């Protein structure tokens, strides 16, 4: 999801870049990573590869770790050898979610589950190998035009006329992958100081609040005639359904979700870079691309 938006942005800017899919390179293979990075000899590597199946990681921590820790370490080692900068996306799941004010970039980490542990180990490997030439870009609640995500699921349900129960007691910052890609470019453009950056939207909401906004935008995007047609067919519920609030306890998952996943954005300000704007405004900008995919 992020990799596709990153390559779209690089393409739109006319940058010289080498997109690499999983079929081209398995990042758990150190020799292959070293060979490819050595051959391309890039100035910058953006490692969008990760094990992102949060629930599956609980039962397959070793496999998740092979990608999120060992794979990250491999990419970092290859960058160190080639003299490349490394940009390494990470996650809000490195925090335990017990806070009530936004997590600073240097707030103590304490992952509550396997995915967060493997991503934190990846962060540490990257920073250990490239203390002066790496950026950890933590993001959260991602959605985008490419790949499965919450917005697409909600759009499918809105289109089906289904009224989903959505968790209303977890707080976070819905974030568009295209905005994360733009922040990554800004780090490179501005030669920002290496370190940890939080690439999430401003503001905060719950999954339920996020779903409500998606349904609202969906309803306002459906042409008036289509609503009238459906109403004439006695079908008005199909268009006008809304999500229902539920609790985390109502929706048990194998991996524990942080109750509070709001990240602070001070490092951007310190680097003279504007952080991502408000989550609702970002969703509105992203919406046409999400509807057409
Ligand atoms: N999605 C979120 O809500 C979220 C939240 C916080 C942080 N993040 C972080 O943001 C980054 C981007 O996430 P995303 O949602 O864009 O991920 P994504 O859509 O799941 O993409 C991950 C990519 O990594 C590839 N991959 C997996 N194992 C690999 C390996 N061994 N070698 C090479 N490629 C491999 C996957 O290939 P296959 O599809 O073939 O498996 C997939 O193309 C990740 O670092 C993630 O941890 C995501």
Which atom of ligand 1 is found nearest the CA of 119?
47
Instruction: Work out whether the CA dihedral 174, 96, 193, 267 comes out positive or negative.
Output: positive
> pLDDT, tens digit, for every residue of 197-214?
999 999 999 999 999 999
Span 2-23, mean pLDDT? 97
Residue of higher predicted confidence among 224 and 178: 178
Catalytic residue among 69, 93, 103, 115: 115
Question: What distance in angstroms lies between residue 51's CA and the mean position of ligand 1's atoms?
Answer: 6
Please give the pLDDT value at position 225.
59
Identify which of 4, 9, 20, 22 to mutate to test ligand 1's pocket (most ligand atoms within 8 A of the CB). Answer: 22
**Ligand 1 pocket, 65 CB below 6 A?**
no
pLDDT at 234 over 90: no
Residue with CA closest to ligand 1 atom 37: 22
- Give percent above pLDDT 90 in the chain: 87
Task: Tell me the C-alpha to C-alpha distance, in Å, between residue 98 and each of 53, 92, 104, 153, 257.
Answer: 22, 12, 14, 27, 11
* pLDDT for residue 168: 96
Mean pLDDT (the chain, rounded)? 94
CB 86 near ligand 1, within 6 Å: no
Distance separating alpha carbons of residues 142 and 179, to the nearest angstrom: 10
Mean pLDDT, range 269-278, rounded to an integer: 98
Q: Is a pLDDT exceeding 70 seen at residue 85? A: yes
115 is catalytic: yes
pLDDT in tens, 148-186: 999 999 999 998 888 999 999 999 999 999 999 999 999
Query: Given pLDDT bands bounded at 50, 70 and 90, which one contains residue 239?
Result: low
* Chain segment 90-102, per-residue pLDDT in tens: 999 999 999 999 9
CB distance 145 to ligand 1 below 6 Å: no
With a 6 Å cutoff on the Cβ, whether 22 touches ligand 1 is yes
**CA atoms 151, 104, 129, 70: torsion sign:** negative
Judged by average pLDDT, the poorest of 26-40, 78-92, 223-237, 269-283 is 223-237
Residue 230 CA to ligand 1 center (angstroms) comes to 39
Q: What is the pTM of this model?
A: 0.95
Contact 234, 264 (CB under 8 A): no
Sign (positive/negative) of CA torsion 229, 233, 238, 241?
Answer: positive
Query: Ligand 1 within 6 A of 52 CB?
Result: yes
For the chain, give the percent of residues with pLDDT over 70. 94
- The whole-number pLDDT of residue 178 equals 98
Residue 91 near ligand 1, beta carbon < 6 Å: yes
Distance 271 CA to ligand 1 centre (A): 27
Alpha-carbon distance 265 to 252, whole Å? 31
């Amino acid at each position: 999801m992020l990799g596709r938006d990153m390559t779209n942005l690089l393409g739109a800017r006319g940058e010289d870049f080498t997109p690499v899919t999983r079929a081209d390179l398995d990042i758990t293979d150190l020799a292959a990573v070293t060979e490819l990075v050595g051959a391309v000899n890039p100035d910058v590597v953006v490692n969008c590869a990760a094990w992102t199946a949060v629930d599956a990681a609980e039962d397959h921590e070793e496999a998740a770790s092979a990608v999120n820790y060992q794979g990250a370490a491999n990419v970092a080692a290859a960058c160190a050898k080639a003299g490349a900068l490394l940009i390494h996306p990470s996650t809000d799941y490195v925090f335990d979610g017990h806070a009530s004010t936004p997590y600073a970039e240097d707030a103590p980490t304490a992952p509550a589950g396997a995915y967060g542990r493997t991503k934190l180990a990846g962060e540490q490997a990257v920073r250990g190998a490239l203390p002066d030439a790496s950026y950890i870009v933590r993001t959260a609640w991602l959605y985008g035009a490419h790949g499965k995500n919450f917005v697409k699921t909600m759009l499918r349900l809105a289109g089906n006329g289904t009224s989903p129960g959505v968790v209303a007691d977890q707080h976070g910052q819905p974030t568009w992958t295209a905005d994360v890609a733009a922040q990554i470019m800004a780090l490179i453009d501005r030669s920002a100081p290496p370190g940890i950056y939080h690439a999430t939207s401003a503001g905060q909401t719950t999954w339920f609040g996020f779903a409500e906004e998606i349904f609202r935008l969906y309803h306002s995007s459906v042409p008036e005639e289509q609503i009238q047609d459906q109403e004439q067919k006695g079908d008005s519920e199909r268009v006008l359904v809304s999500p229902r609030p539920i609790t985390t306890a109502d929706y048990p998952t194998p991996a524990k979700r942080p109750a509070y996943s709001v990240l602070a954005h001070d490092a951007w300000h310190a680097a003279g870079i504007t952080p991502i704007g408000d989550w609702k405004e970002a969703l509105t900008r992203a919406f046409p691309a999400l509807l057409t995919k």
